[in-house]
């Protein structure tokens, strides 16, 4: 494993960036097919998704900077090195949602159908991004652990090690020893979550479901799964230090877990609301599209 897979002079493009870009292109093609199946013109989607990706990247970087400022203390200019990783999914989701909402309000384009058509690409982005994090070694690293599932990165992998005096990544000075592991492979925990979501997503997108159902199920289960199976083991600051076990490598609660609690509550409310009155109709099946061509 190498920190960067392609070197263009001083620029190093990581696996994280490569796999995210690939997920975006594949996701756009899947979204266009879904929109045609649902009777929507995908032309407007292509314009909206471009700006959703741009503002999603801005939001993802901004929220990562807020929740993990220790990654940029030694080298503040690294905040612009987005190709190396360091992106928050929740920040990207907020940025992308705002872009789609703008096109919905400004041009009257459908909101929920566009957002739900983009979900397979989002799931692929989670999988590709987390695998890229693992191949780049340092990004989204896990806590030290004595559990058998702990993994020690080999020399030359790009992993900077963990400072035992601060239990943080060693980005510079460290008063204690710097060790390479074993650590939780939280990058692969996150990739597994994305794979699960990609599988169940097709059940949520079945005909007869109201638009918005798949979106809020995705938000609900991503927030829950990440909060339980990934975030407690990640080497992130504890904003509400309710529990910490340095032997097992578990910590509660990070900023992401706190935000996820609000998202879970919002998703449950929106699903309840959709159950009472669908806002943008029901997703059509093949028979209804033939009966009511667009």
pLDDT for residue 58: 87
Mean pLDDT of the chain: 85
Q: What percent of the chain has pLDDT over 90?
A: 50
pLDDT for residue 1: 41
The 10 Å CB-count burial string (b at 16+, else e) for 17-32 is bbbbeebbeebbebbb
Which parts of the chain sit beneath pLDDT 50? 1-2, 287, 289-294
pLDDT for residue 211: 93
pLDDT for residue 69: 66
pLDDT for residue 294: 44
Tokens of 235: 């080497």
pLDDT digits (tens, 9 = 90+) for 221-250: 999 999 999 999 998 889 899 999 999 999
pTM of the model: 0.87
Helices 119-136, 213-229: axis angle to 10 degrees equals 20
In this structure, the dihedral spanned by the alpha carbons of residues 99, 102, 107 and 108, taken in order and rounded to 10 degrees, is 100
Tokens of 146: 């004595």
pLDDT for residue 165: 80
pLDDT for residue 77: 62
Tokens of 50: 């471009």
Are 120 and 198 in contact by the 8 Å Cβ rule? The answer is yes
CA distance to 42, 130, 139, 282, per residue, from 35 (Å):
6, 27, 34, 13
pLDDT for residue 136: 79
Dist CA 181 CA 162 (whole Å):
7
Beta bridge partners of 245: 250
């Amino acid at each position: 494993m190498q920190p960067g897979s392609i070197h263009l002079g001083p620029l190093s493009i990581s696996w994280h960036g490569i796999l995210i870009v690939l997920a975006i292109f594949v996701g756009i093609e899947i979204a266009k097919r879904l929109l045609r199946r649902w009777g929507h013109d995908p032309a407007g989607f292509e314009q909206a998704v471009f700006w959703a990706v741009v503002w999603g990247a801005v939001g993802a970087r901004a929220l990562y900077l807020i929740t993990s400022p220790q990654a940029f203390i030694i080298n503040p200019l690294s905040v612009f090195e987005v190709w190396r990783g360091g992106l928050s999914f929740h920040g990207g989701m907020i940025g992308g949602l705002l872009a789609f909402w703008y096109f919905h309000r400004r041009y009257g384009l459908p909101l929920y159908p566009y957002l739900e058509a983009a979900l397979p690409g989002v799931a692929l982005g989670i999988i590709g991004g987390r695998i890229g994090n693992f191949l780049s070694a340092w990004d989204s690293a896990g806590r030290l652990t004595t559990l058998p599932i702990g993994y020690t990165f080999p020399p030359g992998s790009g992993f900077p090690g963990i400072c035992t005096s601060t239990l943080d990544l060693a980005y510079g000075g460290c008063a204690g020893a710097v060790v390479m592991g074993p650590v939780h492979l939280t990058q692969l925990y996150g990739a597994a979550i994305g794979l699960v979501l990609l599988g169940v997503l097709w059940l949520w997108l079945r005909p007869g479901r109201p638009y918005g159902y798949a979106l809020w199920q995705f938000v609900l289960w991503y927030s829950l799964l990440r909060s339980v199976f990934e975030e407690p083991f990640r080497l992130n600051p504890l904003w509400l230090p309710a529990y910490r076990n340095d032997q097992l490598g578990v910590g509660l609660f990070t900023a992401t877990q706190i935000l996820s609690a609000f998202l879970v509550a919002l998703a449950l409310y929106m699903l309840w609301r959709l159950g009472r009155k669908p806002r943008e109709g029901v997703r059509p099946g093949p028979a209804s599209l033939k009966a009511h061509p667009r």
